[in-house]
Amino acid sequence: MRGLIVNRQCVCGNTWKMLVAAASGHTVVLVDQSDEILKKSTKGIEESLKRVIKKKFADKPEAGAEFIKKTLKNLTTSTDAASVVHSTDLVIEAIVENLEVKNKLFQTLDKFAPEHTIFASNTSSLQITKMANATTRQDRFGGLHFFNPVPMMKLVEVIKTPMTSQKTFESLVDFSKAVGKSPVSCKDTPGFIVNRLLVPYMMEAVRLFERGDASKEDIDVAMKLGAGYPMGPFELLDYVGLDTSKYIIDGWHSLEPNNPLFAPSPLLNKLVEEKKLGKKTGEGFYKYK
Ligand SMILES: NC(=O)c1ccc[n+]([C@@H]2O[C@H](COP(=O)([O-])OP(=O)(O)OC[C@H]3O[C@@H](n4cnc5c(N)ncnc54)[C@H](O)[C@@H]3O)[C@@H](O)[C@H]2O)c1
């Protein structure tokens, strides 16, 4: 299956979706808004591949070099999605978490993509149905929700809207397995499985801290040592990106304004306003070098 990943370079991960697809033998085009971003993405991919072969091919450097060569051969980049989509079987959209921007892109791609091409969004919180309805291919539209860091995290949530055909759903499940992931399925409901449970938990941690009940450091230690989580909620928020987290909670709050689990946080809003977005900007709840 040839895939077009409409995406970006980033430590937060979307580049890595492309990487796992290319490493598993798929032909992939990575699309982003500028050559500069794409250059950074390509560099990030090469560095990541070097790390992979150090572990995977420790005793066989020649096989490692061949793996990198083969993977990179599967990758190309473009800043013009419309001009490359004509030769793709699958589009995975992973751009900014904004319905209007996503719909505009899908509408353009819908005009140029072949009839059979499946569209999938990697959205963490938006309704897949609303994106599908912006196109003429509602039956060939679903969600493919990967988790960061994508090369390490085994899960993919495959989202089926009421219009997604069984054939499309099965193709998305097969694709997830072909890139080495373990798919689970969920209906098109806010946050699907993981974020529906995780985002209210992280927001509750922010509220605990905002009330002054505990320090963010202690909350992180408590959840790591007491609940066995690999990261505390503030470390995780910084990793995910505070802007992305805010988009999610604001969107859900507008859907269900009386649900206290979806209440916005003044502290999170303030940090986003100050452009302290977490690891990607060097500062969020914590500072990074
Ligand atoms: N951050 C996470 O941990 C995470 C995890 C799973 C899923 N997601 C989802 O992935 C998507 C991206 O999240 P993010 O945090 O990486 O966002 P981000 O805003 O940090 O990055 C978005 C990227 O999309 C590019 N972009 C924007 N408009 C574009 C367009 N029209 N065409 C091509 N590229 C365009 C930008 O240049 C940028 O590189 C969102 O839907 C988010 O919900 C994020």
Question: In the predicted model, what is the mean pLDDT of residues 178-207?
Answer: 96
pLDDT, position 248: 92
- The residue behind tokens 């420790």 is 58
Query: What is the C-alpha R_g of the chain?
Result: 19
| Beta bridge pairs of residue 118 | 90
Domain 196-273 has CATH 1.10.1040.10: yes
Q: Is 48 annotated as a binding residue?
A: yes
Please calculate the CA angle 130-166-5 and round it to the nearest 5 degrees. 55
Does residue 203 have its Cβ closer than 6 Å to ligand 1? no
pLDDT, position 16: 57
Tokens, residue 226: 């007491």
Residues carrying an active site annotation: 124, 145, 157, 195
Convert the pLDDT of each residue in 102-121 to its tens digit.
999 999 999 999 999 999 99
Q: Which of 6, 7, 14, 18 to mutate to test the pocket of ligand 1 (most atoms within 8 A of CB)?
A: 14
pLDDT, position 173: 95
Residue 1 has pLDDT above 50, yes or no: no
**Are 113 and 86 spatial neighbours (Cβ–Cβ below 8 Å)?**
yes
pLDDT, position 17: 59
Does residue 241 have its Cβ closer than 6 Å to ligand 1? yes
What is the sign of the dihedral through the CA atoms of 246, 250, 251 and 253?
positive
Convert the pLDDT of each residue in 276-285 to its tens digit.
999 999 999 9
**Are 233 and 209 spatial neighbours (Cβ–Cβ below 8 Å)?**
no
Does residue 6 have its Cβ closer than 6 Å to ligand 1? yes
pLDDT class for 5, splitting at 50, 70, 90? low
The C-alpha atoms of residue 131 and residue 112 are separated, in whole angstroms, by 17
Distance 196 CA to ligand 1 centre (A): 19
Question: In the predicted model, what is the mean pLDDT of residues 53-73?
Answer: 88
Query: What are the residue boundaries of the structural domains of the chain, listed by start?
Result: 2-187, 196-273
Distance 123 CA to ligand 1 centre (A): 8
pLDDT class for 49, splitting at 50, 70, 90? confident
Does residue 94 have its Cβ closer than 6 Å to ligand 1? yes
Does residue 195 have its Cβ closer than 6 Å to ligand 1? no
Q: Which of 7, 17, 95, 107 to mutate to test the pocket of ligand 1 (most atoms within 8 A of CB)?
A: 95
Q: Which residues, at least 6 apart from 276, have a Cβ–Cβ distance to it below 8 Å? A: 242, 283, 284
| Mean of the per-residue pLDDT values of the chain | 90
Question: In the predicted model, what is the mean pLDDT of residues 71-99?
Answer: 90
Q: What is the CATH number of domain 2-187?
A: 3.40.50.720
Does residue 87 have its Cβ closer than 6 Å to ligand 1? no
* Residue having the nearest C-alpha atom to atom 21 of ligand 1: 96
The C-alpha atoms of residue 279 and residue 152 are separated, in whole angstroms, by 18
pLDDT, position 51: 85
Q: Is 60 annotated as a binding residue?
A: no
Convert the pLDDT of each residue in 203-234 to its tens digit.
999 999 999 999 999 999 999 999 999 999 99
Locate the ligand 1 atom nearest the alpha carbon of residue 124 and give its number.
43
Locate the ligand 1 atom nearest the alpha carbon of residue 121 and give its number.
41
Distance 101 CA to ligand 1 centre (A): 11
Same CATH fold, 196-273 and 2-187? no
